[in-house]
Amino acid sequence: GEDVEQSLFLSVREGDSSVINCTYTDSSSTYLYWYKQEPGAGLQLLTYIFSNMDMKQDQRLTVLLNKKDKHLSLRIADTQTGDSAIYFCAESEESGGYNKLIFGAGTRLAVHP
């Protein structure tokens, strides 16, 4: 099956930038996603990038995609304490006439003063 890998933990100081990295295996994924999960809650879609793009910026979020290396990153500018959460990257896999998301293990972002 497909696989998505992420580093498990990142600690940053408030106001600094955070960069969360992800590698994936399915080169046919049309979209790649970043989700945020706050404690005890479901997942919230943060942003996504179409596979023919290299970069997408959305306010404080910048997504970079290196399709050759199958590497995806999420940069959060001016990180705030409210950004503390688990961030999951996901690729889509088509199977049996529909597609499903394959998630990485999640990166726990801790923001400290």
Partner 1 sequence: GAVVSQHPSWVICKSGTSVKIECRSLDFQATTMFWYRQFPKQSLMLMATSNEGSKATYEQGVEKDKFLINHASLTLSTLTVTSAHPEDSSFYICSARQGRFQRRNTEAFFGQGTRLTVV
Structure tokens belonging to residue 89: 């990257």
In the chain the first and final C-alpha atoms are separated, in Å, by 41
Q: Which CA distances in Å does 35 have to 60, 68, 96, 107?
A: 15, 23, 24, 10
Candidate list 27, 41, 58, 81; residue touching partner 1; CB under 8 A: 41
Q: Which of 3, 55, 5, 51 is nearest to 28 (CA)?
A: 51
Cα(23)–Cα(7) distance, integer angstroms: 10
Candidate list 14, 27, 50, 66; residue touching partner 1; CB under 8 A: 50
If one asks whether residue 104 binds partner 1 (CB under 8 A), the answer comes out as: yes
Show the binding pattern over residues 56-95: x = contacts partner 1 (CB under 8 A), - = does not. --------------------------------x---x-x-
CB of 5: closest distance to partner 1 in angstroms? 10
Residues that bind partner 1 (CB under 8 A): 8, 30-31, 35, 40-45, 48, 50, 88, 92, 94, 96-106, 108
